[in-house]
Amino acid sequence: MNENLDPSRRRFLEHMSTGMTGVALSSLLNQELRAVSSGQTHFPAKAKQVLQIFCPGAASHVDLWDHKPLLDKFDGTPMPGDAEVTFQGKNGNLMKSPWPFITAGESGKKISSLLPNMAKHVDDMAFIHSMSSRTNTHGPGCIFMNSCFARDGFPSAGAWISYAIGAINENLPTYVSIQDIRGEPPNGKANWGNGFLPAQFQGVSMAAQQPLRNLARPASIGPDAEMATRDFLKFINTEHAALHPGNDELQARLSSYELAAKMQMAAPEVSDLSKEPNHILDMYGTNDSNKLKAAYARNCLLSRRLLENGVRFVSLYCASRASAVDGLLNWDAHKTLKSDYERHCPIFDQPTAALLSDMKQRGMLEDVLVVWCTEFGRMPTHQEGTSGRDHNPDAFTTWMMGAGIRGGVSYGETDDFGRRAVVDITSVYDFYATMLHLLGLDHTKLAFYHNGANRRLTDVHGHILKSILS
């Protein structure tokens, strides 16, 4: 095998669509993969772009999205069955959500009263209440949610998608990961890593509070000097290329400098939120007195601008990592659920809802698939000695909306208390099989040879969640 050494991406995609992944893929490893790809898909796509909103720390399904009336009723009583020992230890009795749920939208969806603004969007959302994870630990959980593997080293979904269909606008990164002002999510950069895919497919880290690294021309160099340096560089590179025929990389590198220059023009322009009118800024809350909320709101607005300008995949994080206090920097409410979520929800609610409204009003949801995720759910019981909840990998909620998604539906169910997904149990593989499907990609055919296996985003699993598709 493997005598076929034709490296072109087009050829590669042909192989993908005929199922001959193994043949062409390992030979591709030899080859330089171009930064710009053809954008070809397996079949017509319903979505062109993805906005992933990620609330790290395991945002509690039973306190936000998954209403469990019986939890109110049996509050303070033992959960049926043996007392469980979970991530941090023993569990106490069932504990109702500290906040009432409200009825929202025409669909009558029940949603936590902590999310009054998000409630306005329920008719456009498809909730998946029956998610389950394979790990009860945040770091592996986050990368599992992002890459379908609970171990570092696998490409994140955004990297897979960049690899498969590439850029829409070459002057901006294809895949941008926007971190919260409070820091990186659990497992850090592995969440937007390229894994074993070439480095060009990794998520590029930027945020309203943190511009793209090395983007700006150094202050000590004036525009004329920059221009002259680049001209001279182009001259010596062109001379060099002429003496070295048959090396495509040389030309690719010349182009990469041109692209870099374009990116230097485009990225600051896109990141400049000052161009937005006041009513938009206010809608997002970019000047809110809560500094954390204002910072997240700016990142929401940046997300819209990036998507508007053709970034393929945007990951937007709301909250960050574990610290010396559980639930301080992220949604990991082990011990003080009430005060933790009364801090996190106001940061999340208005800016996210504004982003969705803004995108909808601009017609962007025709092209953009929006997904909300977290790494797993939380226990319906309280953790012994605390008023918080421990990790629960057996049930959590995610939702999708926008391009290709049927709104106002709820897929799958957890049991009476939200302890386990029981109806239409859904995996992260299913989640991404569905995302790839909407992007026109067959999740069983998008593959890359690595260390002895043709690896896929969805590993060897995955079913498309057809009932949430429009």
Partner 1 sequence: MRLHPFILFVLLFSPMSSMLANDGVVFFEQKIRPALIEHCYECHSSTSEKLKGNLLLDSKAGIEKGGDSGETLIRPGDPDGSYLLRVMKHLEDGMEMPTNKPKLPDAIIADFTSWIKMGAPDPRTGVVLEAKRADKSWWSLQPLATEFAHDSIDDFISAKLSEKNLVGNPPADARSLIRRMSYDVIGLPPSYEEIVAFEREYQKSSQVAVAGLVDRLLASPRYGERWGRHWLDVIRFGESHGFERNVIVEDLWPFRDYVIQSINDDKSFQQLMIEHLAGDVIGKDNPSVEVGTAFLVAGPYDDVGNQDAVAKANIRAATLDDVITATSGAFLGLTINCARCHHHKFDPIPTEDYYRMLAAFEGVTHARRSIATQAERKALEDAMKPLNEQLKQLELEKGKIEAAIEARAKAISEQTKATRPKIDLHGTDEAFEAVEAKYLKFIIHGLTSDYQDGVKGKKRSGQGGKLTEFRVWSADPPERNVALATHGTIATGAKSATAEDFPEAYGPQYCIDDALGEAWFIGSPSELLLTFPSVETIQRITFLNARGDRSIDDSKVRGSTPCEYEVQVSIDGKQWTTVASDEGREPWSPAHGIAKARRAMETVEEDKQLADFDKQIQKIRAAIAKVPKLPQVWAGTFVTPKEPTFVRKGGDPMKLGEPIAPSSLQVLSRIPVSFELKPNAEEGERRLALAKWITHDSNPLTPRVLANRVWQYHFGTGIVDSPSDFGYLGSKPTHPDLLDFLACRLIKNGWRIKSLHREILLSKVYQQSAAYHEDFAKLDKDSRFLWRFPPRRLSAEELRDTILTVAGKMRLEPMGGPGFRLYKFTQNNVCTYFPLDVHGPETYRRSVYHQNARASIVDVLSDFDLPDNAFAAPKRANTTTPLQALTMLNHSFTLDMAKAIGDRIVGNKDKASELGVAITNAYRIVFQRDPSPKEIAAASSLIEKHGIEAFSRALLNANELLYLE
Q: Which of residues 248-267 bind partner 1 (CB under 8 A)?
A: 249-250, 252-254, 256-257, 259-260, 263-264
Contact pattern for partner 1 over residues 447 through 466, marking x by CB under 8 A: --xxxxxx------------
Residue nearer to partner 1 on the CB measure, 127 or 201: 201
Nearest CB to partner 1, comparing residues 244 and 466? 244
Spatial separation of the C-alpha atoms in residues 363 and 308, rounded to whole Å: 10
Q: Specify the residue, 176 or 359, whose C-beta has the smaller distance to partner 1.
A: 176
44 binds partner 1 (CB under 8 A): no
* Residue nearer to partner 1 on the CB measure, 219 or 275: 219
Q: Which of 64, 119, 307, 328 binds partner 1 (CB under 8 A)?
A: 328
Q: Which two tokens stand for residue 398?
A: 């995610």
For residues 216 and 267, give the distance between their C-alpha atoms in angstroms, rounded to a whole number. Answer: 10
Choose between 14 and 248: whose C-beta lies nearer to partner 1: 248
Q: Who contacts 460 (Cβ-Cβ below 8 Å, separation ≥6)?
A: none
Of 221-229, 309-317, 358-366, 409-417, the window that binds partner 1 (rule: CB under 8 A) is: 221-229
Exposure of 168 in the CB half-sphere (CA atoms within 13 A): 18
Q: Does 412 contact partner 1 by CB under 8 A?
A: no
- Cβ at position 89, least distance to partner 1 in Å: 5
Q: Segment 142-201, which members bind partner 1 (CB under 8 A)?
A: 142, 150-153, 173, 181-184, 186-190, 193, 195-200
**Stretch of 25-33, 60-68, 398-406, 414-422 lying at the interface with partner 1 (CB under 8 A):** 25-33
Q: Which residues in the 266-305 window bind partner 1 by CB under 8 A?
A: none
Q: Are 300 and 289 in contact (CB under 8 A)?
A: no
The minimum distance between CB 303 and partner 1, in angstroms, equals 20
Decide whether 108 or 385 has the Cβ nearer to partner 1: 385
Distance, CA of 263 to chain centre: 23
Q: Which of residues 88-107 bind partner 1 (CB under 8 A)?
A: 88-89, 92
Specify the 3-state DSSP secondary structure of 370.
strand
**Binding region for partner 1 (CB under 8 A) out of 60-68, 116-124, 228-236, 364-372:** 228-236
State the minimum distance, in angstroms, from the CB of residue 87 to partner 1.
6
Torsion angle (degrees, nearest 10) of CA 344, 349, 350, 354: 140
As a whole number of angstroms, the distance between CA 275 and CA 256 comes to 29
Residue 194, CB-side half-sphere exposure with 13 Å CA sphere: 16
Closest CA to 141 of 366, 449, 428: 428
* Rounded Cα gap, residues 166 and 452, in angstroms: 25
Instruction: Find the DSSP H helices in 103-246.
Output: 138-147, 157-165, 223-243
